[in-house]
Structure 1
């Protein structure tokens, strides 16, 4: 048994399950609850792609410019910039199942209103954008919770990457079916019918959620409050190097990829002379390539590192943008779009799986909310930018610029390597309850914690290096400030200190925010300490004096 940094005895942390190299990417579908919700998500995604085709084509029929058509993507994605982070905090605070119910009901009402007003002939381009924005608000509320429940649904850690990949397969299978189906429905029954079918798809998801009985989670502490929870999520992401690398790669990829989704309807109608059915088939080619990507990706991951695979996906998408810019033969464009779908699902499944397995349970939805905010924000801002460039330089010029920037971003991304090694993110409550004579309230703060170490001279450099990881751990789990000092009169004496906003925040460090990886960092630094001088831990509380 290893002594805790706060004294006492710690229970051993459980290492993460090793990923199975033989596990099929379809294995999570053998889990009944995952399969039910996955199929419901598939129905909802088909409805969403039908809705996108209907919205873009309705604006096209009304004579909207390329910039206005591109704003459909912006209206769908922009709400994540406004609501994504609070939604992530909500998903870590409230019951995720109830939050998903609320978001689905909001989207059901918006889609139904869009269908009714369109059927009555009362819907113009700006009305489409407004209700698309409302649907985006529901998506913003839903996405962090939906992503965060995936590890709960599959249970086994080695299935999480497969579950993340299946999420991409789901979206892109829907992309293969939804646009073509949406184009067919628009041609046969009009855009109002497409919007009505999208509304019905939310009923399917609500029915699936009703069948999922999420186990109650007993926590000795009350739920976090909204603003402290948001700040805690921000601190975690800021001080988690691996997550920052994933977000950096995402930021290099998505804004350029937005050119594909924003300008493809213009390419179909203006450059290829295709109708709504042909546009649906082009989107179907993207989806078919994405489904193929789910088959190819495991083989690519065995052959190449994540870093190389991500760069290759970016270059492949850049080549697709180049083909869209210069080729006027529909079947060649369709083949190129299939490769773009392969690249799309390959890149995003790697990045999404990294987020799923890297963020611990207590902050997973908040970390995923940051990921989704960058993802959807990149799509929203990117779509608006490429639409504006297309209005100025033409669609061909915008696609050529996007392809060039994507290649540059892919090469830069090689220097932001996303490691393939796993971290132990299992909870490790190895800090015992502090022995306190005073009884601070939850709001008491700030709290100053000090830890005194005695380190032999020959371990000084190694100890200082090891404490860097310990400092990041303190900052990830709640510390506002952290530092390490050395006694000038006794060079073997080191003093670590960190401040926490309140006693409640420090209790949360004791009560579940630490992981096996945090414990390993502490054990590495403690192995360099003089064993004849045990650590000394102190907690200092503020003294508030009356001005009188």
Structure 2
């Protein structure tokens, strides 16, 4: 069983990629927590937390679909090296301004916007290259799950480390640690032994290639429904992390350490769910898990109305961690199994836009609603919307399966339609 769970790690390139990206993501989470805590400490504003999150993520909505065209044209490792260099520069500048005592909220907004522009290229390229390293379909599915293990282990360790480090070394040195983690990531990318190959021929104009990717993605019901469900959850449920500083201070009367603890518990739930996903041999049936995950997210957010102590909050964020992980990994796996390699960058860019680009609108909305309705009622509203999304997706499962079958065959994920299971 263990060999099946770690199948992708038998690939040398993926071993190096897995290690370098894991360390970098830990650094990113340390910086994310430090930035959130610094903003709330300086401004005491829920709206400002939402605004900074909006600035950091809105480029994914605007740029990611177009970034996918370039990712399909360029060598993906080159794209990633460039994005990591820019990310290192952003973290280093943030550290310098903080340690020099010159940091202002305008600097944070600008640097968050800059990092968001970089991420619009980085995430789709990272999703695409990790799958393309694998020759077999089972290895590709395992790589997607292991990517989530990496992310969620980092999500577990990063906030916990930030909760310890912020009171000891301050936010500025946390940013410096993140800059160092990007340097390690760059070294790991340089160490990859990938075929020289050549970028795909640019037969069409960029506008035509963008439209081809859009048509390919949104005119196929299975791909479209997955992205619609993700959009609903990204808009209404995922911004709960932006509200955690308020939840911690207003309902628990606690500090940065408690926020780091809750995020770590959520990360633990995600890690355990990711380990379970790595053990799966089949991608068929994941569509049912998406319905279960969206339902669990909705119920978890609604139950914050009954919370008010650290133990119940811990249970709820654990459930949310499990639900978000299954939703993200399951949808990623299904999309990757449906897509042709020539379209992979563009489909992953729409996935990034939906998962990370719609989130900033939700973050801004959540920050405003928390000021109007209170943090608990804002979370409950997100829960209702998540349940509505689960109902939408679940009510179309029979049509989804019928139309997904020939798509799997065309993409090479199944040998024939006789292998489809309904």
Q: Specify the structure having the higher radius of gyration (Cα).
A: 1
Change (3 A) 1:398 1:219: closer
Name which of 339, 352, 360 aligns with 1:359.
Answer: 339
CA distance in 2, matches of 1:128, 1:260: 21
Q: Partner of 1:273 in structure 2?
A: 253
Deviation at 1:335, TM superposition (A): 2.0
Which of 95, 105, 112 is 2:75 aligned to? 95
Aligned match for 2:98, one of 118, 129, 138: 118
Distance (whole Å) between structure 2 residues aligned to residue 91 and residue 425 of structure 1: 22
Paired residue for 1:211, among 171, 191, 199? 191
Runs of 5+ consecutive residues of structure 1 not aligned to the other structure: 1-20, 428-514, 521-548
Q: How large is the RMSD of aligned CA atoms in angstroms?
A: 2.5
Answer yes or no: is the 8 Å Cα contact 2:61–2:358 preserved in 1: no
Q: 1:151 maps to which residue?
A: 131
Higher strand share: 1
Equivalents in 1 of 2:205, 2:327: separation in Å?
A: 35
Deviates most, 218-227 or 152-161? 218-227
> In the TM superposition, what is the alpha-carbon distance from 1:72 to its structure 2 partner?
3.0
Question: How far, CA to CA, are the matches of 1:299 and 1:352 in structure 2?
Answer: 16
Q: Tell me if the contact between 1:169 and 1:345 (Cα under 8 Å) persists in the aligned partners.
A: no
For 2:420, the equivalent position in structure 1 comes to none
SS at match of 1:24: helix
What is the Cα deviation at residue 202 of structure 1? 0.7
Contact 1:47 1:201 in 2 (8 A): yes
Say whether residues 1:83 and 2:63 are aligned partners.
yes
Question: What is the deviation of 1:43?
Answer: 0.9
Q: Is this contact kept in 2: 1:72–1:129, CA < 8 A?
A: yes
**Deviation at 1:359?**
1.1
**Separation in 2 of the partners of 1:139 and 1:331?**
35
- Paired with 2:341 and 2:7, the residues of 1 have a C-alpha distance of 22
Residue of structure 2 in register with 1:423 after alignment? 408
**Contact 1:48-1:198 within 8 A present in 2 as well:** yes
Q: Aligned partners of 1:235, 1:187: CA distance in 2, in Å?
A: 50
Partner of residue 141, structure 2: 161
Gap change, CA 1:302 and 1:272, over 3 Å in 2:
farther
Query: SS in structure 1 opposite 2:242?
Result: helix
Q: How does 1:115-194 map to 2 (within 5 A)?
A: 115-194=95-174
How far off its partner does 1:104 sit? 0.9
Pairing 1:258–2:242 present? no
- The residue that corresponds to 1:407 in the other structure is 387
CA distance in 2, matches of 1:183, 1:128: 20
**Preserved contact between residue 36 and residue 208 of structure 1 (Cα < 8 Å):** yes
**TM norm structure 2:** 0.91
* Alpha-carbon offset, residue 87 of structure 1: 1.1
> Which residue of structure 2 aligns with residue 68 of structure 1?
48
Structure (1 or 2) with the greater helix fraction: 2
Q: What are the Cα deviations for residues 306-365 of structure 1, in whole angstroms up to 9, with x where unaligned?
A: 333112111211222123333111122112211211111111111001111211011110
Alignment of 1:377-388 (within 5 A): 377-388=357-368
**Residues 283 and 334 in structure 2, CA contact (< 8 A), matched pair in contact too:** no
* Deviation per residue, 1:362-390 (Å, 9 max, x gap): 11100110111011122111111111111
1:212-259 deviation line (CA, Å, top 9, x unaligned): 132133589456542232122122223333211221221232222223
Q: In the TM superposition, what is the alpha-carbon distance from 1:123 to its structure 2 partner?
A: 0.8
SS of corresponding position for 2:43? coil
- Is structure 2 residue 315 aligned with structure 1 residue 330? no
Q: Show the counterpart of 2:268.
A: 288
Aligned length: 412
Q: Which residue is 1:239 aligned to?
A: 219
Q: Residue 394 of structure 1 is aligned with which of 365, 370, 374?
A: 374
Q: Distance in 1 between matches of 2:198 and 2:395?
A: 43
Describe the superposition over 1:183-221 as per-residue Cα deviations: whole angstroms up to 9, x where unpaired.
Answer: 211110110011111111110110001011321335894
Kept in 2: contact 1:325–1:395 (CA 8 A):
no
Q: Which residue pairs with 1:27 in the alignment?
A: 7
Distance (whole Å) between structure 1 residues aligned to residue 175 and residue 320 of structure 2? 27
1:178, distance to aligned residue in structure 2 (A):
0.2
8 Å CA contact 1:43, 1:201 repeated in 2: yes
Contact 1:93 1:224 in 2 (8 A): no
Contact 2:73 2:201 in 1 (8 A): no
Q: Are the counterparts in 2 of residues 321 and 399 from structure 1 also a CA contact under 8 Å?
A: yes
Which piece of structure 1 moves more, 126-135 or 418-427?
418-427
CA distance in 1, matches of 2:205, 2:385: 41
CA distance in 1, matches of 2:282, 2:220: 26
How far apart, in 2, do the equivalents of 1:384 and 1:255 lie?
10
CA distance in 2, matches of 1:188, 1:223: 55
Please, what TM-score do these two structures have when normalized by structure 1?
0.71
